[in-house]
A and B are shown apart, each in its own frame.
Chain A
């Protein structure tokens, strides 16, 4: 399995250069009154949709930027025009 991603700084690069940061789960929840259940749900629970999802990627072997990418895990391809920039 191999594919490419578009880094907002460096452009389309090979997947070997990136590390995965998981699905977009929204900002870190407020900790005041946060139950353990809610915390673990936010950190651990992952959905595996077979449709485009928003993800975080880090250009580790490149410019070092974290960016969001909308990608379809079914085809491993980025979805055109869905970038939130």
Chain B
């Protein structure tokens, strides 16, 4: 081994000297706490490697049996090492980079995980067979809450702290990308793919979940063609970083591949990144999956004891993190890579006492067998581990031949076990590749790939580094050709010939489980959910004998490990139990996200994207309290008084000014403009007249009220109309949708943001207006519901609409947005001595309710039609020719009995005050609810509007209102049905 290790400081006792593949820098200590005690780790450590390096062996307790659990995979494949870090539960300690000052706690334990109180329940597993949760505790029904609470306390993983703001604890970013070739996996195959694809000049994105590139070559020091393997990976990575059209994302797990090759995932922020986690989506023409392999767990008795580890985990602890995985090790494996790990660990000073290989003699790589022999390590072909011994951690193990016979005991503190390698099929499965069991590699392999998706590298069963690189090159060429790169058939042909000339997929091993399984001991198929081999048998006996059913019944593969730990083993064991050949076994469906992003990341950066009216600053200066209304920030109150008494009084007695800029404002013109209006508005739109506002409404096909507003004819087939603020965004879509078949010629222009709108309302409104315009706005010249163009101030032309939403004399002035502030100042100054004051949305809400003017959504809903809320007079019932939207529905349910009707009511005196949403009851039956109710100063009593069943809606009828004002305390009120036009029913104030 020729190596010149970079300066990485001196390791503390308990850690190995840093080798050339070590990612830990011992010159940069990072102090953190575990269960309140100080622990020292180093830059480059993950939380788990730092804890293991500091001597921690028990990381947590299992979900159901509270068994001690330790470090198992180093890849986050089980919840064994899920911990609460800085108050955030279920963080994966194996993959979370260590930071200084972290506070780490174990989960599902009382106190220290080594001496967890609930550990006492482990021997009582007979009481907890598969599916016990569903089968046992539902009778008697009344006891369920008791069981549920008890179980919840004892079982489970992390606990969320509801007091903590989990969304804002660091910047969450988003990124959207396009690429011709997206590559999942930055190992030798993925890098070769990227280099080949990049030669075509295409945009290439490569996603690697680890912080560095190289895949499993990154920690292998074995010499190959004259140089150690990690050097080979380094050379590829160097070339990759030099390629300008390749973007490399490390720390970036992929969560799934979706329709038309959308690759999604997230990037975990490194120390110098501006974000903590970044969600990204990459729209790719082609996707190459080179996700590599992982150990297939070996199911044997007590295979969950701390000290039992996957080969990859032990190897990476030693080579990547310079942590000694154990002093005395026994291996029970089934592939050459794991044998190489045994040799390498022996070279690092771990005493390897024996290596069982589930494959028969002669199937091993002779070079590795020779290396084992050289080191005096006994190899036992055709053997596997049958049980791990030791109560809290592994102290010894028992190996047995697979075909029966004697056994052999070994003392050890590290038991490396696997059933060979299995590909990481998640990405391919989420891309909807058809996978089938391959009897040569004994893994699931893609039988059919979706268009534009390719697989490469060790996941296809290749082991020779040259084969892996060649398969990547070939995939890169094919992807580039398909994605429209500078295609070169010759280049692709050469790549194919190269790949074909190299060794192909290596034969695998089909070991299902260790010998002598069961026998009074637990053998885990699923570590997360404590699913044992016995549980699988129970599931099968109950009829849940295919993996998908067993998953639901026994919970196998439901935990964070998902298919990764459980998938293939469960399918194979189930096939055995059914007596089917193993190739018929189908694993459970792989479900995204393949790696868990934090929910805060999915929630996004939390930007509050909103619109401000042109008068935001003016209103803020007047003390406005803003609230969100649709896309807008609007002034809701102008004081602390949420009942807005002063604002209401001022409108009723003097004059108020309201910023109504979010009001929808549109112009429609063209030969078929009237036809379009006739289609979507429910009234006869031929009756519009120039200079007059026509009030009308739009319904949907079910006759429900969608929108109301006024329409002004401005010329021949040229109209100006308003919609409610909430519908402004949907109006163009609505018009065009309902005229899509007609081929009509009209133009519809949304002027909502172009025009500002100001509303002055109150008895003094005219006086204010007269002071700012020379035009005649007297009652005779400018009547109620008229619309004029007037000139205000220094020559600003304004559309002036005399309307009365709040029930007072009022004018709405529409001016270009850029003049809004000028107009506001002008009116405020002109009305100063007339008592002009701004009022907000809440005051407007009360004022219009007193008048009985409805707001869509407040007094209407999806169950009531236009006629139900008393606005049927608008409907032009004789017009069938224009095919009005909603007319047939209105006709169909106009006379239907039992419908809800909108009524006004007056709350009888001497009671409390019911609130919006109170129920209307008739005996024990709910017959309606209160839409809006307020106490009116102008009227002197509490009024309201309610939607009630027609049988209870007669004028003068008594309504019984019910409301839970305090929890568990029901208050009842009586009210009398009246007309909803409470204030000024004759409308004299509007017309004054």
Q: Interface residues, chain A, CB within 8 Å of chain B?
A: 1-4, 14, 19, 21, 26-32, 34, 36, 39-40, 43, 56, 58, 60, 64-66, 76-77
Identify 11 residue pairs between A and B in the complex whose beta-carbon atoms are under 8 Å apart, listed by A's number. Answer: A2-B262, A14-B283, A27-B742, A31-B883, A36-B891, A39-B889, A43-B701, A58-B733, A58-B737, A64-B733, A66-B736
B230-260, CB under 8 A of A: which get 1 and which 0?
0000000000000000000000000000111
B741 cross-chain contacts in A, Cβ below 8 A: 26-28
Please state if B883 and A28 are interface contacts (CB–CB under 8 Å). yes
| Known A3-B260, A66-B736; further 14 A-B contacts with Cβ < 8 A | A1-B258, A2-B259, A14-B283, A27-B742, A31-B883, A31-B887, A31-B888, A32-B880, A34-B880, A34-B888, A39-B889, A56-B737, A58-B733, A64-B733
B260 cross-chain contacts in A, Cβ below 8 A: 2-4, 76-77
Given contacts A1-B259, A28-B883, contact A21 B892 (CB under 8 A): no
In the complex, the 6 A-B pairs of residues with the closest C-beta atoms, listed nearest first: A36-B892, A27-B741, A31-B880, A39-B888, A43-B701, A3-B259
Please state if B740 and A66 are interface contacts (CB–CB under 8 Å). yes
A64 cross-chain contacts in B, Cβ below 8 A: 732-733, 736
Please state if A2 and B258 are interface contacts (CB–CB under 8 Å). yes
CB of B702 closer than 8 Å to a CB of A: yes
A34 cross-chain contacts in B, Cβ below 8 A: 880, 888
A17, B818: Cα distance in complex, Å: 30
Q: Which of B258, B881, B883, B888 has the most CB of A within 10 A?
A: B888
B742 cross-chain contacts in A, Cβ below 8 A: 27
CB distance from B679 to the nearest CB of A (A): 8
CB distance from B983 to the nearest CB of A (A): 38
Closest B residue, CB atoms, query A21? B737
B 680-739 contacts with A by CB, 8 A: 701-702, 732-733, 736-738
Please state if B740 and A43 are interface contacts (CB–CB under 8 Å). no
B31-62, CB under 8 A of A: which get 1 and which 0?
00000000000000000000000000000000
Q: Which of B701, B738, B881, B888 meets A36, CB within 8 Å?
A: B888
A26, B883: Cα distance in complex, Å: 14
B874-905, CB under 8 A of A: which get 1 and which 0?
00000011011001110110000000000000
A30, B880: Cα distance in complex, Å: 8
B887 cross-chain contacts in A, Cβ below 8 A: 31
Given contacts A31-B883, A32-B880, A66-B736, contact A43 B702 (CB under 8 A): yes
Closest A residue, CB atoms, query B879? A31
B733 cross-chain contacts in A, Cβ below 8 A: 19, 58, 60, 64, 66
A66, B734: Cα distance in complex, Å: 10
CB distance from A10 to the nearest CB of B (A): 15
B732 cross-chain contacts in A, Cβ below 8 A: 64
Q: Which of B259, B283, B701, B740 meets A76, CB within 8 Å?
A: B259
A8, B401: Cα distance in complex, Å: 69
A10, B737: Cα distance in complex, Å: 19
A31 cross-chain contacts in B, Cβ below 8 A: 880-881, 883-884, 887-888
CB distance from A49 to the nearest CB of B (A): 19
Please state if A66 and B737 are interface contacts (CB–CB under 8 Å). yes
A36, B737: Cα distance in complex, Å: 22
B 755-790 contacts with A by CB, 8 A: none
A62, B714: Cα distance in complex, Å: 30
Closest B residue, CB atoms, query A67? B740
CB distance from B174 to the nearest CB of A (A): 13
A19, B733: Cα distance in complex, Å: 10
A43 cross-chain contacts in B, Cβ below 8 A: 701-702, 889
CB distance from A35 to the nearest CB of B (A): 9
CB distance from A73 to the nearest CB of B (A): 12
CB distance from B784 to the nearest CB of A (A): 34
Closest A residue, CB atoms, query B732? A64
CB distance from A47 to the nearest CB of B (A): 18
A27, B679: Cα distance in complex, Å: 13
A14, B283: Cα distance in complex, Å: 9
A65 cross-chain contacts in B, Cβ below 8 A: 736
B262 cross-chain contacts in A, Cβ below 8 A: 2
A56 cross-chain contacts in B, Cβ below 8 A: 737, 740
B883 cross-chain contacts in A, Cβ below 8 A: 28-31
A36 cross-chain contacts in B, Cβ below 8 A: 888-889, 891-892
Closest A residue, CB atoms, query B882? A31
B889 cross-chain contacts in A, Cβ below 8 A: 36, 39, 43
Q: Which of A31, A32, A36, A60 has the most CB of B within 10 A?
A: A31
Q: Which of B258, B283, B733 has the most CB of A within 10 A?
A: B733
CB distance from B876 to the nearest CB of A (A): 12
A30 cross-chain contacts in B, Cβ below 8 A: 880, 883
Given contacts A2-B259, A3-B260, A31-B887, contact A39 B892 (CB under 8 A): yes
A58 cross-chain contacts in B, Cβ below 8 A: 733, 736-737
A28, B737: Cα distance in complex, Å: 11
A56, B739: Cα distance in complex, Å: 13
Q: Which of B260, B738, B891 has the most CB of A within 10 A?
A: B260
A65, B736: Cα distance in complex, Å: 8
B283 cross-chain contacts in A, Cβ below 8 A: 14
Closest A residue, CB atoms, query B450? A75
A82, B57: Cα distance in complex, Å: 64
A27, B891: Cα distance in complex, Å: 20
B 80-114 contacts with A by CB, 8 A: none
B736 cross-chain contacts in A, Cβ below 8 A: 58, 64-66
B350-372, CB under 8 A of A: which get 1 and which 0?
00000000000000000000000
Closest B residue, CB atoms, query A68? B740
Closest B residue, CB atoms, query A59? B733
A39, B740: Cα distance in complex, Å: 18
A85, B289: Cα distance in complex, Å: 38
Closest A residue, CB atoms, query B734? A58
B259 cross-chain contacts in A, Cβ below 8 A: 1-3, 76
Closest B residue, CB atoms, query A43? B701
A40, B784: Cα distance in complex, Å: 40
B 646-701 contacts with A by CB, 8 A: 701
Closest A residue, CB atoms, query B679? A28
B880 cross-chain contacts in A, Cβ below 8 A: 30-32, 34
B331-344, CB under 8 A of A: which get 1 and which 0?
00000000000000
A28 cross-chain contacts in B, Cβ below 8 A: 738, 741, 883
CB distance from A79 to the nearest CB of B (A): 14
Closest B residue, CB atoms, query A29? B883
B 914-963 contacts with A by CB, 8 A: none
A34, B881: Cα distance in complex, Å: 12
